[in-house]
């Protein structure tokens, strides 16, 4: 079945460091891909999405490119801030059906 | 615009007791979802409603879990009786609706259940 695999956390970075959180997926068909973020004490928020191969989703300085050839959707940010500390979830939806399948999440801690 | 509202935010009960969670979706959203999030894991879909109809409840443990969405707006998720393994966060989400895989889901803050 469809699945999402994320790099294990926690990821600990200093402020202004470069961030990469790896995400790979297994899917039949052509899924849409998402990154959600969960800040402490808050609900999941959509960070960015991409709906077809080679699309790049971006928001708040974060980017991810839908790579069909490597079945990946890695999250990147050039310069992280303390306020980016959160848990990040990679997810996909099966084609034509809006069922989200999430990875296990990656906790990011950014220190001043 | 108000987001998805859930209550209570926290609930502690003893095993074998019943418990209920309530969700109010974003106004105008026809699709409502209940997810289960265990500690250290991503959310997993329990049930999805299109208006009043449960269109996917394949992951809902029907021996003890039930859900309803009367009038196609608010929804309630119930567990009776609760077991220790039910301790988790229960998330509600809503979206505008339709079968498209790009329909953005908006999540509530969740209800954290602890079963003692």
Q: Which of A42, A95, A103 sits opposite B101 (nearest CB)?
A: A95
φ/ψ of residue A35, rounded to 5: -120, 125
Residue A94: predicted pLDDT: 73
Q: In angstroms, what CA-CA distances link A26 with A59, A71, A103, B23?
A: 25, 7, 11, 32
Percentage of chain A modeled with pLDDT above 70: 97
Residue B65: predicted pLDDT: 96
Q: Which of A32, A42, A91 sits opposite B102 (nearest CB)?
A: A32
Tell me, yes or no, if B58 comes closer than 8 A to chain A by beta carbon. Answer: no
Tell me, yes or no, if B41 comes closer than 8 A to chain A by beta carbon. Answer: yes
φ/ψ of residue A94, rounded to 5: -70, 145
What distance in Å separates residue A25's CA from the closest CA in chain B? 14
Is residue A108 within 8 Å of A13, Cβ to Cβ? yes
- DSSP-derived letter for residue B81 is S
Alpha-carbon span B97 to B69, nearest angstrom: 15
| pLDDT for residue A5 is more than 90 | yes
Residue B19 tokens, joined: 């418990």
Residue B113: predicted pLDDT: 97
| pLDDT for residue A1 is more than 90 | no
Alpha-carbon span B94 to B24, nearest angstrom: 9
- Band of pLDDT at residue B31, cut at 50, 70 and 90: very high
Alpha-carbon span A53 to A101, nearest angstrom: 18
Residue A19: predicted pLDDT: 97
Is residue B107 within 8 Å of B5, Cβ to Cβ? no
Residue B116: predicted pLDDT: 96
Is residue B95 within 8 Å of B31, Cβ to Cβ? yes
Number of Cβ within a 10 Å radius of residue A40:
7
Nearest residue on chain B to A103, judged by CA atoms?
Answer: B42
Alpha-carbon span A10 to A78, nearest angstrom: 18
Is residue A106 within 8 Å of A24, Cβ to Cβ? no
| pLDDT for residue B63 is more than 80 | yes
CB–CB contact B98 A98 (8 Å): yes
Q: Which residues of A touch B (CB under 8 A)?
A: 4, 31-32, 36, 41-46, 49, 51, 89, 91, 93-100, 102-105
């Amino acid at each position: 079945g469809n699945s999402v695999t994320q790099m294990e956390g926690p990821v600990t970075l200093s402020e202004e460091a470069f961030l990469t959180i790896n995400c790979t997926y297994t899917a039949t068909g052509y899924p849409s891909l998402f990154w959600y973020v969960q800040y402490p004490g808050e609900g999941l928020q959509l960070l960015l999405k991409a709906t077809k191969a080679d699309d790049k989703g971006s928001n708040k300085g974060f980017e991810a490119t839908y790579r069909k050839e490597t079945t990946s959707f890695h999250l990147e940010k050039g310069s992280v801030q303390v306020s980016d500390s959160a848990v990040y979830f990679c997810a996909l939806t099966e084609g034509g059906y809006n069922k989200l399948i999430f990875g296990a999440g990656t906790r990011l801690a950014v220190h001043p | 615009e108000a987001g998805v509202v859930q209550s209570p935010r926290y609930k502690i009960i003893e095993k074998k007791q019943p418990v209920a969670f309530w969700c109010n979706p974003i106004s105008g959203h026809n699709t409502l979802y209940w997810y289960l999030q265990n500690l250290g894991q991503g959310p997993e879909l329990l049930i999805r409603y299109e208006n009043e109809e449960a269109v996917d409840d394949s992951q809902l443990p029907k021996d003890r879990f039930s859900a309803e969405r009367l009038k196609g707006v608010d929804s309630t998720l119930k567990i009776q009786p609760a077991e220790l393994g039910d301790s988790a966060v229960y998330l509600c989400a809503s979206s505008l609706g339709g079968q498209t895989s790009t329909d953005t889901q908006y999540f509530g803050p969740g209800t954290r259940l602890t079963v003692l």
